[in-house]
């Protein structure tokens, strides 16, 4: 394990039971993250990004069919902990979540400050007074005026509510924060402000992020690493600079070509077809039916090829 390694995920699986069969939302995910690093998880809607976040935080629905793999956090396999140990020592304490649409999930009848302080009181057993003091510091950090601690969620703008949700995820000073589309449903200026807040937090608190987003352009500002997810699997992981210059997987290339650009006259590209159903996955490469570079080998399960630290699950690079 690298000295600086915070997280290592090995063969993480989360399948859901449905009447039609198992939905393989997370199907053998591997990746690593260091302290003070941000990985951006990219991929089309429905490829399993939110399920990956839930699997990491063990926030599981009732219809789980399979949940397995190893998740090493600071060198300890947290998958081996029982639910009580996980709840007490891992969730909130070591990793926290800013869920999708977090700004709409604040409790309308509790003052925002009390909600932000709550994880400290519940999970760290800290007195209300001290927890409120920490909440005040977090409000400062995310740029919410202190007097807003006394307000209710409906009295705050969308951007301020989202900042409050980020403050809540930070209040226990976890090493890792998982942010599930933290800027969707916000206007572009507010989106940029939120990304600046995340950058500042990363610098000041040395926090690591798993950032799930569709906003490839803005997230590139924050990302140290990129992981591309397709049909329940990670198909490419590498350093962000390298990824944005030269994505390797044919899916990643198409994804990048779909981002509109200001300069040049190249039209944004789109990817023909649909991802496969997570109920009925094809054998071999899961992208093969949409891949312009498909060849005979693609009917077999592609290996993960390591090209000088750039990992790509594709036969083209074998
Ligand atoms: N509890 C569940 N039971 C059955 N299927 C589920 C359950 N939760 C999620 N799914 C399915 O798992 C697949 C992956 O969903 P997930 O929300 O992880 O995708 P996503 O990549 O986060 O999508 P988006 O970008 O739209 O949020 C989808 O097909 C979804 O319908």
Place of tokens 């951006």: 40
Q: Is 63 in the pocket of ligand 1 (CB under 6 A)?
A: yes
Spatial distance between the Cα atoms of 146 and 318, rounded to a whole number of angstroms: 56
Per-residue model confidence (pLDDT) at position 43: 93
Q: Is 50 in the pocket of ligand 1 (CB under 6 A)?
A: yes
Per-residue model confidence (pLDDT) at position 299: 97
Spatial distance between the Cα atoms of 213 and 45, rounded to a whole number of angstroms: 10
Strand order in the sheet with 76-77: 21-34, 5-18, 64-73, 76-77
User: Can you list the positions of beta strands (E) in 126-251?
Assistant: 176-180, 208-212, 225-230, 233-239
Q: Are 50 and 212 in contact (CB under 8 A)?
A: yes
Place of tokens 């023909």: 272
What phi and psi values does residue 295 have, to the nearest 5 degrees?
-145, 180
Q: Are 24 and 278 in contact (CB under 8 A)?
A: yes
Per-residue model confidence (pLDDT) at position 2: 62
Question: 51: CA distance to ligand 1 center in Å?
Answer: 6
Q: Is 20 in the pocket of ligand 1 (CB under 6 A)?
A: no
Per-residue model confidence (pLDDT) at position 3: 77
Could you tell me the two tokens for 287? 């992208």
Per-residue model confidence (pLDDT) at position 214: 84
Q: Is 24 in the pocket of ligand 1 (CB under 6 A)?
A: no
Per-residue model confidence (pLDDT) at position 59: 95
CATH of domain 5-81+217-317: 3.40.50.300
Where does residue 128 fall: left (phi above 0), alpha (psi -120 to 50 degrees), or beta otherwise?
alpha
Could you tell me the two tokens for 64? 């789980």
Could you tell me the two tokens for 236? 């490419």
What phi and psi values does residue 86 have, to the nearest 5 degrees?
-65, -45
What phi and psi values does residue 40 have, to the nearest 5 degrees?
-100, 125
Q: Is 286 in the pocket of ligand 1 (CB under 6 A)?
A: no
- Give 10-residue mean pLDDT values along the chain (318 residues): 86 97 97 95 94 96 97 95 93 92 87 92 88 92 90 92 90 94 83 88 93 85 94 97 95 87 73 92 96 96 95 97
Taking the CA of residue 54 as reference, the ligand 1 atom at the shortest distance is 18
Q: Are 251 and 235 in contact (CB under 8 A)?
A: yes
Half-sphere exposure of 168 (CA within 13 A, CB side): 25
Per-residue model confidence (pLDDT) at position 133: 93
Could you tell me the two tokens for 124? 């760290």
């Amino acid at each position: 394990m690298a000295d600086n390694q915070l997280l290592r995920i090995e063969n993480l699986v989360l399948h859901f039971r449905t009447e039609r069969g198992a939905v393989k939302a997370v199907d053998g995910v591997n990746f690593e993250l260091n302290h003070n690093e941000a990985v951006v998880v990219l991929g089309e809607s429905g490829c399993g990004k939110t399920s990956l976040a839930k699997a990491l935080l063990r926030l599981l629905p009732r219809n789980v069919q399979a949940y397995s793999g190893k998740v090493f956090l600071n060198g300890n396999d947290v998958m081996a902990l029982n639910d009580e140990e996980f709840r007490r020592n891992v969730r909130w304490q070591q990793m926290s979540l800013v869920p999708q649409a977090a700004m709409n999930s604040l409790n309308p009848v509790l003052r925002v400050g009390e909600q932000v302080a709550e994880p400290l009181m519940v999970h760290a057993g800290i007195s209300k007074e001290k927890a409120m003091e920490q909440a005040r510091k977090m409000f400062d950090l995310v740029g919410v005026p202190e007097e807003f601690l006394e307000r209710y969620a409906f009295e705050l703008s969308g951007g301020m509510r989202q900042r409050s949700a980020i403050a809540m995820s930070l209040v226990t000073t976890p090493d890792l924060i998982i942010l599930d589309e933290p800027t969707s449903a916000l206007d572009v200026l507010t989106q940029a402000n939120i990304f600046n807040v995340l950058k500042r937090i990363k610098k000041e608190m040395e926090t690591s992020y798993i950032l799930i987003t569709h906003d490839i352009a803005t997230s590139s500002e924050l990302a140290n690493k990129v992981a591309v997810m397709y049909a329940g699997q990670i198909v490419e992981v590498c350093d962000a600079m390298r990824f944005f210059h030269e994505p390797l997987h044919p899916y990643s290339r198409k994804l990048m070509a779909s981002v509109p650009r200001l300069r040049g006259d190249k039209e944004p590209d789109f990817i023909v077809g649909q991802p496969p159903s997570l109920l009925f996955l094809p054998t071999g490469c899961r992208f093969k039916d949409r891949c312009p570079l498909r060849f005979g080998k693609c009917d077999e399960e592609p290996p993960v090829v390591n090209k000088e630290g750039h990992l790509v699950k594709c036969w083209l690079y074998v």
